[in-house]
Structure 1
């Protein structure tokens, strides 16, 4: 297992971590298999979305702020219930196929760390699973 450190600078922020994960996949030497990406935090998550046009992530960010505002009255007194809800909606793990020694992402896809209770220092765990040889 490898780990990526992510430092966030805002309460809610989406950080493109595709390049760091791709480097781990390539250095593993695995040609075909899967990459498990896991975020061990209850107020953050990980998602795949378009990374060609920054307006997409801008819109996603705005949607989550509008959909679950921090100002709602929640029972949880830490003041971050909105972050817990957003993390649950996004999810904390992804499985991405590895093909030909790299991530099998679509042309416009990227992997984003989703911060909902920052700024913070966060971790993302990466596990590479080797596929079954078909020889």
Structure 2
């Protein structure tokens, strides 16, 4: 297993595709699966467009609309919305490896979705060969 470490800012979608792709390349696995997992409860993972940066801001904006900050949350730490957003994005991804490359669509990238700002985050990567 490989571990990637990141220092995040406030709410953001951080493109981590290149770092994961580097791990795949160094593995020399021709075909298999890349498992990506975050061991945190206030961030998530997503695959989405990485060509147009406005897509990231649109996604974050829509998540803000969907998750009401003014709801009377019982969790008193002030990050209840981050917990809910992380459930919506999920905490794991499975990506095919083909010819020693991540098998992503033309416009796809892998994002660490930070919902609780200024944190030290880990992303765990496990590769298995066919």
1: CA distance between counterparts of 2:3 and 2:31? 21
Contiguous gaps of at least 5 residues in structure 1 = none
Correspondences of 1:42-81 after superposition (within 5 Å): 42-81=41-80
Separation in 2, partners of 1:100, 1:9: 34
* Mapping 1:14-53, distance limit 5 Å: 14-53=13-52
Partner of 2:113: 114
Task: Note the alpha carbon deviations across 1:5-29, whole angstroms, 9 max, x for none.
Answer: 111111x111000000000000000
- Residue by residue, what CA displacement relative to the aligned partner does 1:76-113 show, whole Å, maximum 9, x if unpaired? 11111111110011000000000000100000000000
| Length, aligned pairs only | 130
Kindly indicate whether residue 129 of structure 2 is the aligned counterpart of residue 130 of structure 1.
yes
Partner of 1:9: 9
Question: What is the TM-score when the length of structure 2 is the normalising length?
Answer: 0.97
CA RMSD of aligned residues (A): 0.8
Give me the TM-score of the superposition, normalised by structure 1. 0.94
5+ long unaligned stretches in structure 2: none
Residue-by-residue CA offset, 1:49-91 (whole Å, 9 max, x unaligned): 0001111111001111121143322011111111111001100
| Higher mean C-alpha displacement, 72-81 vs 108-117 | 72-81
